[in-house]
Chain A
Amino acid sequence: MRRYVIKRLAQAAGVLWAAYTVSFLVLDYLPGDPVTAMASAGMDSGQIDPQQIAALRHEYGFDKPVLVQYADYLGRAVRGDFGDSVATGRPVTSTLADALPQTLQLTGAALLLAVLLGGGLAVAATYTTRRWLRQFLLSLPPLGVSVPTFWVGLLLVEAFSFRLRWFPAFGNDGLQGLVLPALTLAIPTGAQVAQVLAKSLLTALDQAYVETARAKGAGRWRVHLRHALRNASLPALTVVGLLVGQLVAGSVVVETVFSRDGLGRVTAAAVTAQDIPLVQGVVVFGALIFVTTNLVIDLVYPLLDPRIVVASDRRASFA
């Protein structure tokens, strides 16, 4: 078990480092000249003071060779310093840390809703014996993954805020204000969870051990939940791990729709202002979320299925 944990941790660190490198390549290296981009953010290019550019260039270290810059930035990033936001001048790390709680609330609530709704739908669809009900339930997930999130959010606002006046349309006010954004964010994720879980539940229900459990006299509900669901939940858990990063990224759209403060709004503003250090911080943070959730899930697997630790050395997977 210990070796398993250490190996996963090392892989996670490797992925983070590589994600940082990708963001460096894309953001600092790809634009012809990031300094001009930064200096001209918000104003017409062509009217920038050359001296100002030279000063910026020196401040950000762009007058040094790329590899030196990279090593320099990486060294600071390891210590949690992603530089200062170009737009506000505040450190990137504290800007993100301030915005984070709101977004964690939102994505946490959305994840909970997605798992409950998606899981419930999959269990209900595979449990029911009514053909029409099953068909109806199974037709919902494809619908859920096909609708644009921002559109669903706006329709919900239209219906529940403007017509029925049940929930506030904008802002961060407590639980009331969390319902609609979380639901909006949960719909595509829940749909994907439902698709995977329904499929693996159907496979599990065909297995011999289900037959055995039935033959031993276990009730239908018990077989469904205790025997089939436990085994079928592994693929769904993997999918959830992949989806958490999407949820955090989805907050960009949802927070814009509902005018909530949070990481998503900060990201959207940073992209608009071409605030390169801030965008870089967000990208690395996204990878951190992805790596952490997958780490947690990798550590949860053995609890669900004890065989996994035994086989873990041969398991080909990425962090």
Chain B
Amino acid sequence: MSQSLVDADADDPAEAAPGPTRPTDGTGTGPGPGRRIDVRRLLRFLLRRPGLLLSVVVLVLVVLASFQPGLFTSQDPLKGVPTQNFHGPSGAHWFGTDELGRDVFSRVVHGAQLSLKATLIAVAVAFVVGGLLGVVAGFVGRWVDDVLMRCVDVLLSIPALFLSLALVTALGYGTVKVAVAVGIASVASFARVARAEVLRVRQALFVEASRSCGARWYSVLGRHVLPNAAGPVVVLATLDFGASILAVSALSFLGYGAPPPAPEWGTLISDGRNYLANAWWLTALPGLAIAATVLATNRIARALDGEWSRQR
């Protein structure tokens, strides 16, 4: 009888049924019984934590702003009215106007797209490359593990900003290149977490059981190891989001991001820096947008990391 047919048949129901009560300890962030998010539980969870609710609102607003900036402002982020330069925050210009009379609020709103895109690329690079390294190291083991993890240790030993700067020097300027540089700089932590998780799951009883049933390595990996190891790596990705926003904006503050007229968040602040003495709003308010976004994503990451699964 063909091996693969047997384990395809035997595996499916066996795995689906005991799913939620698997013997991996309860740190996974997988949804509870029924694989469906309980709306009432979610609402209760959020209402008990006003800070978290606010964070979700902020994040939704930022995402909306990056897809539909027109919802928030009708003013052109690039067109200035020279007679209206250096106006303080007011009803007409929430964040005031800059040296060319451009509306700062609309620049921040339109900048969300650039900054969010860069952050997404950075997290994706870190997640994919780091996750892949970690999974290969953890799953293959032996000398492959040793070699890969020594490489990761070396990446960890170079301060992240220096590594990003070296990559920027090699790759050149621009939003996407900066994003890739930031992503590579945080590959190491993803690799470590992914490896640790794969090692933990690989020793679980159900993996051993499926091995002994004759499952191929790829089906063990795809069906058992990856889904169960993914949780903490996803949590790390949400945590890395905030860190990446900060790193990307720091690099664009230093002038390595998108070229000048583009309203990237870090660039906005470095532009405003020249007028610090007479126009505080040019630095303070765009910075507030960055801080609020990072704070919101960090709060949500903390909620995903344990708080949600602990609350029952």
Binding site for B on A (CB under 8 A): 15, 18-19, 21-23, 26-27, 30-31, 142-143, 145-151, 154-155, 157-158, 162, 169, 245-246, 248-250, 252-253, 256-257, 267-268, 270-272, 274-276, 279-280, 282-283, 286-287, 289-291, 318-319
Contacts and interface: CB of A to CB of B under 8 A. Distances in A.
Given A148-B250, A148-B290, A154-B269, 4 more contacts: A270-B169, A271-B254, A272-B255, A282-B165
Contacts of A246: 159-161
Interface stretch (B25-33, B80-88, B272-280): B272-280
B209 interface: no
Given A147-B294, A245-B159, A271 B276 contact: no
Interface in B134-169: 150-151, 153-163, 165-169
B169 A274 contact: yes
A256 B254 contact: yes
A249 B162 contact: yes
B157 A19 contact: yes
B159 A150 contact: no
A19 B246 contact: no
Instruction: Please classify the interface of chain B as helix (H, G, I), strand (E, B), loop, or mixed, using the class held by over half of its residues.
Output: helix
Given A155-B283, A248-B159, A319-B157, A253 B253 contact: yes
Nearest to B280: A158
Interface string B231-275: 000000000001000100110011110000000001001101100
A31 B177 CA distance: 13
Contacts of B159: 245-246, 248-249, 286, 289-290
10 contacts: A18-B150, A21-B154, A148-B287, A149-B250, A150-B269, A271-B165, A271-B256, A282-B162, A286-B162, A290-B159
B75 to A, nearest CB: 24
Given A19-B158, A162-B276, A318 B153 contact: yes
B298 interface: yes
A200 B272 CA distance: 41
Instruction: Please classify the interface of chain A as helix (H, G, I), strand (E, B), loop, or mixed, using the class held by over half of its residues.
Output: helix
Contacts of B156: 318
A15 B153 contact: yes
A271 B161 CA distance: 12
B165 A145 contact: no
B155 A22 contact: yes
3 residue pairs, one from A and one from B, having the closest CB atoms: A151-B287, A249-B159, A249-B161
B284 interface: yes
Contacts of B250: 148-150, 253
A155 B280 CA distance: 8
B154 A19 contact: yes
Contacts of B47: none
B220 interface: no
B1 interface: no
B249 A148 contact: yes
A158 B170 contact: no
B275 to A, nearest CB: 11
Nearest to A34: B170
Contacts of B290: 148, 151
Contacts of A256: 253-254
Nearest to B164: A249
A283 B166 contact: yes
Contacts of B302: 142
Nearest to B161: A249
Interface centre among B170, B290, B302 (most CB of A within 10 A): B170
A104 to B, nearest CB: 15
A150 B246 CA distance: 10
A48 to B, nearest CB: 17
Contact of A15 (B154, B163, B166, B298): B154
Given A15-B153, A27-B170, A148-B291, A267 B298 contact: no
A145 B295 CA distance: 8
Contacts of B165: 252, 267, 271, 279, 282
B291 A252 contact: no
Contact of A18 (B154, B171, B253, B277): B154
Interface in B282-312: 283-284, 287, 290-291, 294-295, 298-299, 302
A123 B151 CA distance: 37
A23 B166 CA distance: 7
A190 to B, nearest CB: 16
